[in-house]
Amino acid sequence: ATLTGMGEHCRMSSPILVPKYGVTNRAMWVIMTDMPLMSTKPIDFGVYDFCKTCGICADACPFGLIEKG
């Protein structure tokens, strides 16, 4: 989903963060087709850079499994 431009990789339990829906999407998005489709570019809306400086999820993790930065 990241390579299709639907969202951006994030540090939380969901492998992708979608700007419209956040990380609450748990469905696997798989579409198989032989229809010719235009490719899209991955999006970068700044979540990775934000995650490097925020640290809220790392502070809130009760087991300390999320590293800061």
pLDDT in tens, 18-56: 887 777 666 556 667 888 888 788 888 888 788 788 888
* Burial class for 7, CB neighbours closer than 10 Å (0-12, 13-18, 19+): buried
Q: What pTM was estimated for this model as a whole?
A: 0.49
Sign of CA dihedral 56, 58, 59, 60: positive
- Quick one: tokens of 6? 């639907």
pLDDT at position 27 is 58
**Residue 9: pLDDT band with limits 50, 70, 90:** confident
Nearest-angstrom CA–CA distance, 7 and 10: 9
